[in-house]
Amino acid sequence: MTKSIALLGVGLMGLPMARRLLAAGHDLTVWNRDRAKAEVLAAEGAHVADTPADAVRAASHVITMLTEGTVVKKVLFESGVAEALHSGVAVIDMSSIRPSQARDHATRLAKQGVAHLDAPVSGGTKGAEAGTLAIMVGGDQTVFDSASAVFEPLGRAIRVGPSGSGQLAKLANQAIVGIAIGAVAEATLLVSEGGGDLDAFRAALSGGFADSTILQLHGQRMQTDDFAPRGRASVQLKDLDNILLEAEEFGIRLPLVTAVRDRFARLVGPLAGADLDHSALYLELLDLNNRTGR
């Protein structure tokens, strides 16, 4: 069923997602702080709005795909969006933010009859382009069911619980991703230092317990020094910081997350790798070992 969708945020992830929605036949209006990034979609059938409030006025579903929680809050509640939404609209926040922020946004919107789902994604730009994103959704089951046509072109959506649960699942996902990138970086360096063939190494592990998308995809990037951003290191660090904030609230310790967080902080800060792909953690490892990187 065709929907009238507003997409706020046309960045690395938002752009391919917009194209998937257009290809599925949805009526799409887009807004981005840098209008030039949104304008490229006009030739593909999207309407380009001057303001986020203008973008949402006629929408049945509003997708936000923004950098972090304070930006989502500012766009929703300080730019006229909330006032422009009519009762019955569903806001689907596909940004990665803190669960407490998602619950707060849901509560505030509910007071004016607007539904809310927190629906962060995993799969990077390749998943966004292919429509194979893993979408972790928190919120009401009825609202989730009504948004199935919106999710379908983007990937596989699974409701994991009430409001905030999607964001908590995404943080757990990012814990696994960050730790796995660290492990793949160390394994890659170990094999490389021993004179092993890295292509053959990954092929040998294919199908075994240690195999993963991160091993195959990010391991290839580490081998070929390809750190063009698909998932930025700065975003990975933000997610790891949020994981540790949640852990602190729960009164639990996550030593592996803490260790890999400190390594990403070093990559983003002293090594100036904020805008590199998160697989560039390999460069931090090379620097730590006084080996030559990019």
Look at residue 292 in the predicted model and tell me its pLDDT: 78
Residue 293 belongs to some domain of the structure: no
Phi-psi region of 88 (alpha: psi -120 to 50; beta: other; left: phi over 0): left
For residue 125, the domain's CATH number is 3.40.50.720
Residue 33 makes CB contacts below 8 A (sequence gap 6+) with: none
**What secondary structure does DSSP assign to 124-138, as a single string?**
HHHHHHHT-EEEEEE
Within its chain, how far is the Cα of 46 from the centroid?
Answer: 22
Number of domains in the chain: 2
For 20, the token pair is 């998937």
Rounded CA gap, 104 and 101, in Å?
Answer: 5
Rounded CA gap, 264 and 202, in Å?
Answer: 24
* pLDDT tens, per residue, the chain with 294 residues: 678 999 999 999 999 999 999 999 999 999 999 999 999 999 999 999 999 999 999 999 999 999 899 999 999 999 999 999 999 999 999 999 999 999 999 999 999 999 999 999 998 899 999 999 999 999 999 999 999 999 999 999 999 999 999 999 999 999 999 999 999 999 999 999 999 999 999 999 999 999 999 999 999 999 999 999 988 999 999 999 999 999 999 999 999 999 999 999 999 999 999 999 999 999 999 999 999 764
Task: Tell me which residues are annotated as active site.
Answer: 170
Q: Do 174 and 31 have their domain in common?
A: no
Residue 209 belongs to some domain of the structure: yes
Look at residue 262 in the predicted model and tell me its pLDDT: 98
Residue 294 belongs to some domain of the structure: no
Radius of gyration of the chain measured on its C-alpha atoms: 20
Look at residue 231 in the predicted model and tell me its pLDDT: 87
Q: pTM for the whole thing?
A: 0.88
Residue 10 belongs to some domain of the structure: yes
Residue 224 belongs to some domain of the structure: yes
For residue 185, the domain's CATH number is 1.10.1040.10
Q: Do 243 and 127 have their domain in common?
A: no
Q: Do 155 and 23 have their domain in common?
A: yes
Q: Do 15 and 121 have their domain in common?
A: yes
Q: Work out the angle at residue 178's Cα, subtended by the Cα atoms of residues 175 and 183, and round it to the nearest 5 degrees.
A: 120
Q: Which domain range does residue 88 map to?
A: 4-162
Look at residue 30 in the predicted model and tell me its pLDDT: 98
Q: Do 281 and 193 have their domain in common?
A: yes
Q: Do 187 and 137 have their domain in common?
A: no
Q: Do 92 and 206 have their domain in common?
A: no
Q: Do 18 and 92 have their domain in common?
A: yes
Q: Do 210 and 232 have their domain in common?
A: yes
Residue where a domain stops, chosen among 141, 162, 183: 162
Residue where a domain stops, chosen among 144, 162, 180: 162
Look at residue 2 in the predicted model and tell me its pLDDT: 77
Look at residue 243 in the predicted model and tell me its pLDDT: 96
